[in-house]
Amino acid sequence: MIKPAEQDARKTILFICIAIILGAIAGGIVWLFLKASEAGLFFLWEVLPSRFDTIYYPLIICTVGGMIIGLMRRKFGNYPQNLEEVMETVKAKGRYDSCRIYALFLMALFPIIFGGSIGPEAGMVCVIAALCTWVGDRFKYSLKETKELAQIGISASLGIVFTAPLFGFLEQVEGEAKDLTFPGRTKVLIYFSAILSGLGLYLLLSSFFGGGLHFDKFEVINTGRIEILWFVPLALVGFFIACSYNIIGALLRIVTKPFQRFPVTLAVLAGILLGICGMFLPLILFSGETNIAYLTEGTSFLIIGLIKLIAINLCLQTGWRGGNIIPLIFTSVCFAYGVSSFAGINSVFAAAVVSTVVCAVIIRKPIAVAILMLIFFPIKSILLLTAAAIAGAYLRKLLDFIPQLPGKPI
């Protein structure tokens, strides 16, 4: 007769094996998605423009993209959902039911390759969560803990997309009142088994076949007396950006609500507006992780940052669905560079504080945010990033005392 302790051990081992397999599948899917994005972007924005030399090219391609996105949305629904919606659904229901996985993959891909101001993380989270739900349904009669598979998949996909295993784990568990199913040490082991197996396969495929996200990293950050004095004002700038993002999103939801019955028209109109912006301000297009290197100090970036802030929300509210983390970091850096030019302080210091505060206010998980920002800033800036993330978390609480603020962060 098998003892209960031995049975639990076997069940845990089985679950770890499932998590490793799911993590590897997630790593392969994320690599395939990012490779397809890279190929699509190269073809649409480098190969074709070389043959059709016209200033109206961004307008044409974004309009065509809007039509395709609108048709997909009309057929399959308003996917992919944003990161917060997916996680709330998974935590409430223990699963994520959506449209067909292949359609979800394409609906996450098209807004990126056609120039949308969104990132890949939300689309990947949707695809992996749906896949994990499908796998969980096959094991639900032998493992009652399968309700946690979708959350493990979300954690793995975030860790893989940003090549930050600790961020993927903390983004899921930080702030939890209690463990969902497993005790603490076992849960850590299961989550990291999935994340590391997925990241390992992702990096292996990237090393052999290329692909993946390539983040620009700031190598040097100077912190002097004047920068320290500007820490609080910069934190308030970040809070202002996050609140503006929230308000713009709420206003656009109100404006676009009557037109949600016409998804094709709405997506095409958004494509036209994006294309017009792309004709004159190319930095407004795309997520921005590879455009940060092109930014220099200058107050004109305040205008670019504001337009980018509007463009992110425009995409999210009109069917050009995707992630908001990377575009918001790019937007924050634009604002930080504008402020640093005005204040005469180190631009990288300003970028670190402002972008970290913005992400902390939106994501609301300061430790995870501090880890995430190490993708862009040197490891020796961890104390500054942590202080900025904590400041953002405290500033976020101010929103609870502003009932008239419309909507909530997307």
The CATH number given to whatever domain includes residue 368 is 1.10.3080.10
Q: Are 176 and 365 in contact (CB under 8 A)?
A: no
Q: What is the pLDDT of residue 213?
A: 75
Closest alpha carbon to 310 in 387, 228, 383, 244:
244
Please check whether residue 145 lies inside any domain of the structure: yes
Please check whether residue 45 lies inside any domain of the structure: yes
**pLDDT tens, per residue, the chain with 410 residues:** 455 556 667 777 878 888 898 889 989 999 999 999 999 999 999 999 888 878 899 999 999 999 999 999 999 888 888 878 888 887 777 778 776 788 889 999 999 999 999 988 888 888 888 888 877 776 654 545 566 778 888 888 888 888 888 888 887 777 654 444 444 677 788 888 899 999 999 999 998 888 777 777 787 787 888 889 999 999 999 999 999 998 999 999 999 988 889 999 999 999 999 999 999 888 889 887 766 756 665 557 788 889 999 999 999 999 999 888 889 999 999 999 989 888 888 888 999 999 999 999 998 889 999 999 998 898 889 999 999 999 998 888 876 655 444 444 43
Q: What is the pLDDT of residue 179?
A: 42
Residue ending a domain, among 185, 209, 233, is 209
Residue carrying the six token digits 């961890």: 382
Same domain, 236 and 107: no
Residue 366 gets the label, from left (phi > 0), alpha (psi -120 to 50) or beta, of alpha
Same domain, 145 and 262: no
Cis upstream peptide for 80 (omega within 30°): yes
Q: How far is CA 83 from CA 86, 107, 124, 177, 289, in A?
A: 5, 15, 10, 20, 18
Q: What is the pLDDT of residue 146?
A: 61
Residue 150 structural domain: 4-209
Q: Are 100 and 123 in contact (CB under 8 A)?
A: no
- φ/ψ of 119, rounded to 5, equals -105, 175
Q: What is the pLDDT of residue 282?
A: 87
Structural domain count, the chain: 2
Neighbours of 120 (CB within 10 A): 25
Same domain, 173 and 66: yes
Q: What is the pLDDT of residue 178?
A: 45
Closest alpha carbon to 104 in 139, 75, 79, 71:
79
Q: What is the pLDDT of residue 165?
A: 85
Please check whether residue 46 lies inside any domain of the structure: yes
Bridge partners of 323?
Answer: 119
Residue 207 burial class via C-beta count within 10 angstroms: exposed 0-12, middle 13-18, buried 19 and up: exposed
Bridge partners of 119?
Answer: 323
Please check whether residue 13 lies inside any domain of the structure: yes
Please check whether residue 218 lies inside any domain of the structure: no
Same domain, 255 and 176: no
Please check whether residue 204 lies inside any domain of the structure: yes
Q: Are 353 and 254 in contact (CB under 8 A)?
A: no
